[in-house]
Amino acid sequence: MRVALFVTCVNDALYPGTGRAVVTLLDRLGVEVDFPAAQTCCGQPQYNTGYRRETEPLVLRSARAFEGYDYVVTPSGSCAAMVRDNYPRIGAKALAQGRGSELADAAASLAARTFELTEFLVDVLGVTDVGAYFPHTVTYHPSCHGLRMLGLGERPRRLLEAVKGLELRELPGAEECCGFGGTFAVKNPDVSAAMGADKVRNALSTGAGVLCGADNSCLLHLDGTLRRQGAAMRAVHLAEILASTETEVLA
């Protein structure tokens, strides 16, 4: 089984710890993972802001970077959703506009092999107890793209529930958007900030010490809000919790 890590541009530049955690975790589960250095960004910011044509080179780049791998695993629900839902759309549109079938074929092939981390663990590897240890109270925010576009369902919760020492607290209004939304946070800063503040208030109401998510973009927004408020709660990516063990506490 040839597995590639699609670390995503946000994680590469801002949250490399999440990428290292995925590598550590997959190592422990006996999966040999590779990191094709030709990868960069899935193009989600461009596509979602209305620059579809500008996204096309990145679709091709990703498809080429991950050619030949059986599985492409990413610790980001929204990037996985971009590849799975939007790459085929971009490919089909390019084809309809007469730009050959290369893009469409590449997009379709990559979409079929791309998995969000929790899907890969639960559906492909068939594990829910990954042997993790994390002695904290945790509340989980299921980011919208993971929740609705990928339909991750109970997978992240099942993984968290199997972590030793971890106490999971229900997040009120969990399914509501945190207000990040990529360029939305910049184009509509007031609404975005109001949504972030409400999400953070709900998270704090659980009394948990850690706000967990599987998408560092949402966590960037929420952690930034938490720290501006001087709150004691910290945001941690799910992969870092799953990678954490009694001998090596990662998060």
Partner 1 sequence: MSGAYLGMPAFPEAAKTSTKNEQLRANLTHATHTIRDKRAAAVGELDDWAQLRQAGKEIKDNTLARLDHYLLQAEAAVQAAGGTVHWATDAAEANRIVADLVHAKGESEVVKVKSMATQEIGLNEALAAEGITAYETDLAELIVQLGDDLPSHILVPAIHKNRGEIRDIFAEAMGRWGRPAPDGLTDRPADLAEAARLHLREKFLRAKVAVSGANFLIAETGTLVVVESEGNGRMCLTLPETLISVVGIEKVIPTWRDLEVFLQLLPRSSTAERMNPYTSTWTGTTDRDGPQEFHLVLLDNGRTATLADEVGRQALRCIRCSACLNVCPVYERAGGHAYGSPYPGPIGAILTPQLRGLQSELEASLPYASTLCGACYEVCPVAIDIPEVLVHLREQVAEQVEGHRVERAAMKAATWLLDHPAALTAAERAATRTRALHPKRLPLPGPAKAWSDTRDLPALPAEPFRDWWKKNRKDGSR
Residue 221 · residue 180 · CB < 8 Å: yes
* Interaction between residue 98 and partner 1 (CB under 8 A): no
* Interaction between residue 225 and partner 1 (CB under 8 A): yes
> What's the min distance (Å) between Cβ of 167 and partner 1?
26
Q: Which residues pair with 115 in a beta bridge?
A: 73
Closest CA to 1 of 112, 125, 123, 122: 125
Q: Which stretch binds partner 1 (CB under 8 A): 122-130, 207-215, 222-230, 238-246?
A: 222-230
C-alpha atoms less than 13 angstroms from C-alpha of 246 in its C-beta half-sphere = 3
Q: How far apart are CA 148 and CA 73, in angstroms?
A: 19
Q: Which stretch binds partner 1 (CB under 8 A): 98-106, 121-129, 187-195, 205-213?
A: 187-195
Strands 71-74, 137-141: pairing is unpaired
The two structure tokens encoding residue 148? 């609705």
* Interaction between residue 2 and partner 1 (CB under 8 A): no
Residue 250 · residue 240 · CB < 8 Å: yes
* Interaction between residue 227 and partner 1 (CB under 8 A): yes
Q: Which stretch binds partner 1 (CB under 8 A): 116-124, 127-135, 158-166, 191-199?
A: 191-199
Interface ranges with partner 1 (CB under 8 A): 7, 9, 11-17, 19-20, 23, 27, 35, 37-41, 43, 45-52, 54-55, 57-58, 61, 89, 144-145, 147-149, 175-177, 179-197, 220-221, 223-225, 227-228
